[in-house]
Each structure stands twice: as C-alpha cells, then as structure tokens.
Amino acid sequence: MKRLLEEMEGYETEVKVFVTYTGEDDIDYTTTVPLQYDIELEYRSWGIKEVLFSFKPISIEVWLLDVEGDQGEKKVIDLDMTAAKKSWSAGESYMPLNVDVTLNPDFSVKSIEIGCSYIKPQDG
C-alpha cells in the first residue's frame, strides 16, 4: 500500500481480482489491478464505530476463450466501485484486499464485492 501524491488524496494498492461469468463460454481475465481508495475512520469514545472506504472506478479485461483455450475476443469491463458490497476479515491494517466480480451472460456487471481487512481490537 502506498500513499498517493497529496493532490490525489488517498492510497493505492494492488488487489486480486476474481471473476465469475454466468454465461456458457470460458473466460480468462485480469488477475490484479491497482485500486485507488480513501479511508475515513469514525471514532467514538469507546473506539472505532465505522470504517468508511471510498474507491475510484476500475476496469478489468476479460477474454473469451476459443475451443483450444487461446484468448479470443477481449472485453473491457468498467466497474463502479461505489456500488460494491464490502466483506470484512481481520488483518493488520484497514485496506482492500481483493475484488470479486460476477458478470451476466451479456458481460454486464451483476455484482461486485470488495474484501477488506480491519484491525482486530486487542482483548483486555
């Protein structure tokens, strides 16, 4: 994870991409993409109440595979990350880890889920 230039306000990290295609063809796809994001922690007297992420849109490339398994037609899929659902797992920092995308048979986006990590509070 690296801090971007101040005028860009935020961070950038490489995230893994996993694509599920609901059509009948076999596909190949981009496996990592740079994701720009900003983070805001909402504090209360008892600790952190909420972690708010905002993400810049990203694009992934998807290829239809031909009968021999070679890459054929390429499609570029733009992902509006504001519509993404977030899932959380304990980690060492507050950051996105991966993006799971489900595509409809016409290559429109059915769903986006961003796997994010959080710092687990210490007991006691």
Per-residue pLDDT of the chain (124 residues; tens, 9 = 90+): 444 444 456 888 999 999 999 998 889 898 899 998 888 878 778 777 777 788 989 999 999 887 676 777 889 999 999 889 999 888 888 889 999 999 999 999 999 999 998 887 665 4
Entry pTM:
0.80
Q: Write down the pLDDT at residue 26.
A: 87
Phi and psi, residue 118, nearest 5°: -140, 160
Count of beta carbons in the 10 Å neighbourhood of residue 56: 14
C-alpha to C-alpha distance for 33 and 23, rounded to whole angstroms: 23
Q: Write down the pLDDT at residue 1.
A: 43
C-alpha to C-alpha distance for 31 and 6, rounded to whole angstroms: 28
C-alpha to C-alpha distance for 14 and 67, rounded to whole angstroms: 32
Question: Could you tell me whether strands 58-65 and 27-29 are parallel, antiparallel, or unpaired per DSSP bridges?
Answer: antiparallel
C-alpha to C-alpha distance for 44 and 84, rounded to whole angstroms: 26
Q: Write down the pLDDT at residue 9.
A: 67
Q: Write down the pLDDT at residue 105.
A: 92
